[in-house]
Amino acid sequence: MARTAEAMLAECEGFQWDDGNASKVRSRHGIEPAECEQLFMQVPVLLSLDEAHSLGETRWRVLGQTADARPLFLVFTIRSKLIRVLQARPMNRKERRVYAEAKERT
């Protein structure tokens, strides 16, 4: 049986950043790595499998918000019990609507 993203996240022990991804996220979108990490500590977080880009390793998409309620979209993978953020940007209009609807249900 395949494990869910939630189960895999529950086993994670931290985050893995490389200088390239951290600086790319910061320079392109003004998002600090710490903000990305905050998404995983907030509720709700909407997770979905990124099947189109999961050829070499499983990638996940997440919609969530920072501690300051900044809405973000992330793509991440899990390597050796560490969350590795591959992409981060502000949510677009459609993503904000989907996320707001999910918040209303919780």
Q: Please tell me the pTM assigned to this model.
A: 0.88
Residue 41, domain CATH:
3.10.450.530
Domain that holds residue 20: 5-105
pLDDT of residue 8: 83
Walk along the chain (106 residues) and give the pLDDT tens digit of each residue.
Answer: 456 777 888 899 999 998 888 898 899 999 999 999 999 998 888 998 887 777 788 999 999 999 999 999 999 999 999 999 999 999 999 999 999 998 888 7
pLDDT digit string, tens, across residues 60-69:
999 999 999 9
pLDDT of residue 1: 47
> How many domains does the structure of the chain reveal?
1
**Pair type for strands 14-15 and 82-90:** parallel
